[in-house]
Amino acid sequence: MTRVAHAPAWYIRGMSSCDVSVIVPTLNEERSLPDLLRDLQRQTEVRLEVLVADGGSDDDTAAIVGSFDFARVVAGDRGRGRQMNRAAREALGAYLCFLHADTRIPSDGLLGSGCRTMTDERRVAGHDRLAGHFQLEFLRVDPRKHRLAFRYAEEKMSFDRSHVVNGDQGLLLTPDFFAALGGFDESMDFLEDQKFAADIRRQGRWVLLPGKMQTSARRFEAAGFHRLYILMSIMQAMYWTGATEFFDRAPGIYRQQQEVGKLLLTPFFREIALMFREDYGVAGTLRLLVGVGRFVRSHSWQMFYFVDICLRPITGPGRYPFLRFHDAVFWKITNFRVFDGLAAILTVGWFLGVLFPVYTFLDRRELRADQGRTTV
């Protein structure tokens, strides 16, 4: 199949099964976007239209897109879900592929092979209620730092489990399935990919596509891996238990990646305490904590998976004996509502006994160090 990387791709009307509309939401992405567009330009065995769904960038994002004659800007109001939905309505491809601006595509044939895999899977299934995602690899400045943590994060993204797939992995599906799902949630400016992934899992099936996407680890490296991972876990727990007051109280919780420095957790801890006291009260807090316990219990598999990751040098790649034990034994024993309360108690104990005192100390030390650097 002829590649159309050097012609305006959106004019294509006679679509084939390997025509893909790539949709990239942007907001001031002049640093990351050129690399992604060059990666897309090199893709073979697939015809692409590239729609950069911009939310009002005031840098050179639009000019960069204009320098690639196979891409165009779809401009409108800010909000990643809103931006992607708007571009999807203008897409002409047989598949939609949603990518983040800091994504890298290491293989020239990655999208083509993903497209063919999806077509084969749809043929076997007899319907199009399928969505594909790639495995993920983080691009790090220092590959020696946090090797275990990044291995943990990367490997689990190949699993078909709740709340694992996200937008960093490249989402590939048909426009009809996208429309049936109702598109991305526009009510919040983040986590839209989490809800969308959950809707796909509930109404269809995920397909792990061959190859890997790559994404920048800049957020983790700038904010601190463990700090950002803890904050992301809190955000997910609040989101999936319906505690939207947390996000109303912390409007800067999902800052633009360019603005992220060393992340301080204690301001978010204080917002949680205020939310419990002022928004929920005693009874509401207890109900919310039980919901958090239910969410934590649904992720009990991650503790066993973590042990497998630690034992990787001994057990070898692709082996998960502790995870299999969780699924075969532990989950069957603990999959009862009574354990939601126990999980809530353990979560509160972990938060008050470990996270709060440890990061209160670390945040104070970080602030003192910042003050010292400022006065020098």
pLDDT in tens, 157-166: 988 888 888 8
Q: Return the pLDDT at 367.
A: 85
Mean pLDDT of 188-210: 90
Mean pLDDT of 319-328: 96
Q: Return the pLDDT at 6.
A: 34
Mean pLDDT of 307-325: 93
Tell me the pTM: 0.88
CA distances from 266 to 132, 256, 263, 349, 350 (A): 38, 20, 9, 17, 15
> Which of 102, 118, 212 is closest to 172 using CA atoms?
118
Q: Return the pLDDT at 143.
A: 86
Residue 9 has pLDDT above 70, yes or no: no
- pLDDT greater at residue 223 or residue 6: 223
- pLDDT greater at residue 184 or residue 254: 184
Q: How does pLDDT run across 72-91, given as a tens digit for each residue?
A: 999 989 999 999 999 999 99
- Among the listed ranges 141-155, 272-286, 345-359, which one has the minimum average pLDDT value? 141-155
Percent above pLDDT 90 for the chain: 74
Beta bridge partners of 171: 98, 133
Residue 2 has pLDDT above 90, yes or no: no
**With bands split at pLDDT 50, 70 and 90, how would you rate the model's confidence at 10?**
very low
**With bands split at pLDDT 50, 70 and 90, how would you rate the model's confidence at 376?**
low
Residue 190 has pLDDT above 80, yes or no: no
Percent above pLDDT 70 for the chain: 91
- pLDDT greater at residue 371 or residue 94: 94
Q: How far apart are CA 239 and CA 247, in angstroms?
A: 9
Mean pLDDT of 317-328: 95
**Strands 103-104 vs 205-216: parallel, antiparallel or unpaired:** antiparallel
Structure tokens at 280: 């929920």
Q: Return the pLDDT at 84.
A: 97
Domains of the chain with CATH codes: 9-216 (3.90.550.10), 221-375 (no CATH)
Contact between 288 and 241 under an 8 Å Cβ cutoff? The reply is yes
CA distances from 285 to 13, 152, 167, 260, 278 (A): 55, 32, 31, 31, 10
